[in-house]
Amino acid sequence: MAKVQDLYGLMVFDEHTMQERLPSATYKQLMRTIKDGAPLDLEVANVVAHAMKEWAIEMGATHYTHWFQPLSGITSEKHDSFIDPIDDGHAIMSFSGKELIQGEPDASSFPSGGLRATFEARGYTAWDPTSFAFIKDEVLCIPTAFCSYNGEALDKKTPLLRSMRAVDEQANRVLALFGEPHQRVVTTVGAEQEYFLISEDDYKRRLDLVLTGRTLFGYSPCKGQELEEHYFGAIRPTVNNFMKELDEELWKLGVPAKTKHNEVAPCQHELAPLFANANRAIDQNLLTMEEMRLLASHYNLVCLEHEKPFEHINGSGKHNNWSISANGKNLLEPGENPMSNLRFLVFLAGVIQAVDDYQELLRMSAASAGNDHRLGANEAPPAIVSMFLGDELGRVVDALIEGRDYTASERTEMDLGVAELPNFLQDNTDRNRTSPFAFTGNKFEFRMPGAEQNLSDANMILNTAMAKSLKEFADELEGFSEEEFRATALEYVRRTLRDHQRIIFNGDGYSDEWPKEAERRGLANHRTTADALPCFVSEKSIRLFEEFAVLDEVEVRSRYEVKLEKYNKTMNIEIRTMKRLVRRDYLPAINDFAAEIARHITEVRAVLPDADLINQESKLQALIDGAAEINRQLGKLHELHYASLEIEDQQERANMNAHQIVPVMDALRDAVDAMEIIVEREKWPVPTYNEILFYA
Ligand code: ADP
Ligand code: MG
């Protein structure tokens, strides 16, 4: 492998490359756009486009694409070549500023939630200069926003950028009160990506995995994750090679892949990058997911990014580590003595207020058919949003709420009792793995999002809610003199913490008591996607997004519709796959096996009329009963499925899916799984969990 320093960012048209390749006046103007949001004019764009093209061709690119994130969440690209034929029969390679800035893909086949009737198919992509262009598979990819002819956002990136601008504006008002005006404020994100790797051969033999991304059937493996040997365990050689290549490819793309390790479940792994500004971090996460899927195939592996590929073992999340920084300084860094760090307390109170006030929206941001199997299922955080602050910060907040003084506790030096090992300072925040929104030293970790999701929604909501908290603070405090400011601000923090303390919960989120306690506190508990989505179109939600010009009402409604539709379509695919597999694979296998045993019994009886065949007879009975139960559940599912397809209203259909159909799918699955453990191994039509999860 080449030296990492030489590889890193090789395929990215980053600041360094820009400085090297652009005339200095152009470079400066572009930096003003990137760093201060100044508008970009066509002259500059032309120069940038030319330099970008020259660089891309030198790096082997032949095509370019406007790379964007439609509402379906995954990235889209349509490749155009640089080739421009000229009259003498030759061709030149061209790329204009206009082509860089704006594209016009046919928008008709992307989900828009009714925003754009199909006959009005035009949509525009617009260059986002704050996220660098890069080369992937000989294609120059230009990160872009995607909007309709009328300027409504048709993508995930545009509202995210708008929400970042809102935080920037409001945080600057607050910082100005602290005598620190005119800063570049961004929210930062570090997305920890979990995933499974399984063998391609097994994958191909599981139609449920191929069509739905998860196993719809499968008895729990004899060995699960109970020995906890996989977490941080030695990495399989093949997987290790995969991870090495992945790191290398990501580094070339300027993705700061940093940590890789095995996760709790067998075959489960994680990759964490160094954090970046939210917009870039999300682009990088999407690239990471894409590279994972692609590179796995080099090792006869398949990368599963679904939230819950396997029942009975952990699913995959995507922890959204989040903070706010001003000119590179982390505003959620408590420092040595958080109690006297007023600026920190103001921002902390702002986050607490934001999460409490908009807990339902945050929950909604993580809602999807896939994630429904994870949230509240005793492994991932519950579907109730609450915050964990840790001991030290928890005590600070308690003291503030109660109006007491507080002196920082000395950090305890840990003595490991072995002279050779260095003593180290105990971290002030111990870990709470069950909290959906945990303070982890100098950032918050939102753990609800699922592995497959685009983090734009979660961050758009977090940012906008935060902008709202900061705005309220600034509105109230701007009138005060400098002398009055500190005392008034501290009083404001106290009041905010008091008003929102119900959201703070340091206990065990998996316990049975917590949902009851949460209900007493008035916290929302939306168990399924169908329950979680409606709050998106509530008046409170629409008012929030409109107040900060992040989404207007039409955009909110269209997004809600897209989410609903996606949920219902996913359910429809899963139900159809289930029915097909039961009818064509599982029932025939069970019936065949039963017939074989029946034949066996008859044959033995012919020779030995009094033979004790209790073993075969009881097995035959179990198979017959099992098949009958499967048939009963299949019939129920079939009826409900058809009834659901009659329902025009997508929310009502989603309700039916979540509350009536899912329980029958579970029952059907259980009935099939019960047969898996008695049908002869050779006769079972698909590889089982034991085989898939414990490959050599
Ligand atoms: P752990 O999950 O073990 O606490 P780390 O603390 O190293 O792991 O960080 C997890 C993720 O959080 C990494 O992606 C890291 O880059 C990211 N992170 C660290 N600081 C910040 C920050 N200020 N803003 C956003 N993400 C951050
Ligand atoms: Mg973490």
Dump pLDDT digits (tens) for 402-449.
988 776 665 555 455 555 555 444 454 556 778 999 999 999 999 999
Query: Ligand 1 within 6 A of 443 CB?
Result: yes
What gap in Å lies between CA 161 and CA 283, rounded to an integer?
Answer: 12
For residues 102 and 146, the answer to whether their CB atoms sit within 8 Å is no
Instruction: Give the pLDDT confidence score for residue 553 in this predicted structure.
Output: 95
For residues 355 and 387, the answer to whether their CB atoms sit within 8 Å is yes
Query: Ligand 1 within 6 A of 158 CB?
Result: no
For residues 406 and 474, the answer to whether their CB atoms sit within 8 Å is no
What gap in Å lies between CA 12 and CA 141, rounded to an integer?
Answer: 9
Higher pLDDT, 689 or 337: 689
User: Rounded mean pLDDT of 298-302?
Assistant: 96
DSSP 647-689: ---HHHHHHHIIIIIHHHHHHHHHHHHHHHTTS-GGG-SS--H
Q: Among 250, 260, 271, 275, which is best to mutate for testing ligand 1, by the most ligand atoms less than 8 A from CB? A: 275
Instruction: Give the pLDDT confidence score for residue 419 in this predicted structure.
Output: 56
Instruction: Report the separation in Å between the CA atom of 60 and the middle of ligand 1, taken as the mean of its atom positions.
Output: 35
Instruction: Report the separation in Å between the CA atom of 277 and the middle of ligand 1, taken as the mean of its atom positions.
Output: 12
**Which atom of ligand 1 lies at the shortest distance from residue 332's CA?**
23
Query: Ligand 1 within 6 A of 431 CB?
Result: no
Q: Which of 88-102, 153-167, 468-482 has the lowest mean pLDDT?
A: 88-102
What gap in Å lies between CA 526 and CA 624, rounded to an integer?
Answer: 39
Instruction: Report the separation in Å between the CA atom of 307 and the middle of ligand 2, taken as the mean of its atom positions.
Output: 17
Instruction: Give the pLDDT confidence score for residue 676 in this predicted structure.
Output: 98
Instruction: Report the separation in Å between the CA atom of 447 and the middle of ligand 2, taken as the mean of its atom positions.
Output: 8
For residues 564 and 651, the answer to whether their CB atoms sit within 8 Å is yes
What gap in Å lies between CA 530 and CA 369, rounded to an integer?
Answer: 9
The closest residue, in CA terms, to atom 14 on ligand 1 is 190
**Which atom of ligand 1 lies at the shortest distance from residue 325's CA?**
23
H or E element at residue 81:
strand 80-81
DSSP state of 299: G
Query: Ligand 1 within 6 A of 440 CB?
Result: yes
Q: Which of 434, 431, 432 minimizes the C-alpha distance to 379?
A: 434
pLDDT band at 680 (very low <50, low <70, confident <90, very high): very high
Query: Ligand 1 within 6 A of 390 CB?
Result: no
Query: Ligand 1 within 6 A of 189 CB?
Result: yes
**Which atom of ligand 1 lies at the shortest distance from residue 191's CA?**
14
Q: Which of 251, 256, 273, 253 minimizes the C-alpha distance to 191?
A: 273
Q: Which of 291-295, 347-351, 402-406 has the lowest mean pLDDT?
A: 402-406
What gap in Å lies between CA 539 and CA 541, rounded to an integer?
Answer: 5
Instruction: Report the separation in Å between the CA atom of 338 and the middle of ligand 1, taken as the mean of its atom positions.
Output: 20
**Which atom of ligand 1 lies at the shortest distance from residue 445's CA?**
12
Instruction: Give the pLDDT confidence score for residue 77 in this predicted structure.
Output: 81
User: Rounded mean pLDDT of 243-272?
Assistant: 91
pLDDT higher than 70, residue 6: yes
Instruction: Report the separation in Å between the CA atom of 376 and the middle of ligand 1, taken as the mean of its atom positions.
Output: 24
- The token pair at 599 is 């034949």
- The token pair at 550 is 């992040």
Percent of the chain with pLDDT over 90: 74
pLDDT tens-digit map of 206-252: 999 999 999 999 999 988 777 666 666 677 889 999 999 999 999 99
| Residue the block writes with tokens 């008035």 | 522
**383: amino acid identity, one letter:** A
Query: Ligand 1 within 6 A of 318 CB?
Result: no
Instruction: Report the separation in Å between the CA atom of 315 and the middle of ligand 1, taken as the mean of its atom positions.
Output: 21
Q: Which of 302, 223, 317, 209 minimizes the C-alpha distance to 270?
A: 317
Query: Ligand 1 within 6 A of 323 CB?
Result: yes
Instruction: Report the separation in Å between the CA atom of 278 and the middle of ligand 1, taken as the mean of its atom positions.
Output: 13
**589: amino acid identity, one letter:** A
Instruction: Report the separation in Å between the CA atom of 320 and the middle of ligand 2, taken as the mean of its atom positions.
Output: 8
How far is residue 476 CA from its own chain's centroid? 35
What gap in Å lies between CA 621 and CA 635, rounded to an integer?
Answer: 21
Instruction: Give the pLDDT confidence score for residue 472 in this predicted structure.
Output: 98
pLDDT higher than 50, residue 488: yes
For residues 196 and 452, the answer to whether their CB atoms sit within 8 Å is no
Query: Ligand 1 within 6 A of 288 CB?
Result: no
pLDDT band at 117 (very low <50, low <70, confident <90, very high): low
For residues 200 and 300, the answer to whether their CB atoms sit within 8 Å is yes
Instruction: Give the pLDDT confidence score for residue 425 in this predicted structure.
Output: 44
Q: Which of 126-130, 387-391, 594-598 has the lowest mean pLDDT?
A: 126-130
For residues 675 and 204, the answer to whether their CB atoms sit within 8 Å is no
What gap in Å lies between CA 53 and CA 48, rounded to an integer?
Answer: 8
Query: Ligand 1 within 6 A of 188 CB?
Result: yes
Residue 74's CB is within 10 A of a number of other CB atoms, namely 13
pLDDT higher than 50, residue 533: yes
pLDDT higher than 50, residue 653: yes
User: Rounded mean pLDDT of 367-387?
Assistant: 89
For residues 525 and 451, the answer to whether their CB atoms sit within 8 Å is no
pLDDT higher than 90, residue 528: yes
Instruction: Give the pLDDT confidence score for residue 643 in this predicted structure.
Output: 98
The closest residue, in CA terms, to atom 17 on ligand 1 is 190
What gap in Å lies between CA 196 and CA 695, rounded to an integer?
Answer: 13
What gap in Å lies between CA 247 and CA 193, rounded to an integer?
Answer: 13
Query: Ligand 1 within 6 A of 324 CB?
Result: no
Query: Ligand 1 within 6 A of 446 CB?
Result: no
DSSP state of 337: -
Query: Ligand 1 within 6 A of 330 CB?
Result: yes
The closest residue, in CA terms, to atom 1 on ligand 1 is 440
What gap in Å lies between CA 669 and CA 629, rounded to an integer?
Answer: 11
User: Rounded mean pLDDT of 583-611?
Assistant: 97
pLDDT higher than 50, residue 138: yes
| Residue the block writes with tokens 């206009």 | 98
Higher pLDDT, 377 or 624: 624
Query: Ligand 1 within 6 A of 277 CB?
Result: no
Point out the ligand nearest to the CA of residue 318.
2
- The token pair at 100 is 């860089």
DSSP 245-297: HHHHHHHHTT--EEEEEE-SSTTEEEEEEPPEEHHHHHHHHHHHHHHHHHHHG
Instruction: Report the separation in Å between the CA atom of 363 and the middle of ligand 1, taken as the mean of its atom positions.
Output: 21
* Geometric angle at alpha carbon 252, from 131 and 255, rounded to 5°: 50
Query: Ligand 1 within 6 A of 273 CB?
Result: yes
User: Rounded mean pLDDT of 377-397?
Assistant: 88
What gap in Å lies between CA 223 and CA 169, rounded to an integer?
Answer: 53
Q: Which of 498, 480, 499 minimizes the C-alpha distance to 489?
A: 480
What gap in Å lies between CA 235 and CA 233, rounded to an integer?
Answer: 6
Residue 479's CB is within 10 A of a number of other CB atoms, namely 8
Please, what is the average pLDDT of the chain? 91
Point out the ligand nearest to the CA of residue 190.
1
Instruction: Give the pLDDT confidence score for residue 118 in this predicted structure.
Output: 45
Query: Ligand 1 within 6 A of 321 CB?
Result: yes
Instruction: Report the separation in Å between the CA atom of 444 and the middle of ligand 2, taken as the mean of its atom positions.
Output: 10
pLDDT tens-digit map of 46-97: 999 999 999 999 999 999 999 999 888 778 888 888 988 888 888 888 899 8
What gap in Å lies between CA 292 and CA 260, rounded to an integer?
Answer: 13
Collapsing DSSP to helix, strand or coil, 514 comes out as helix
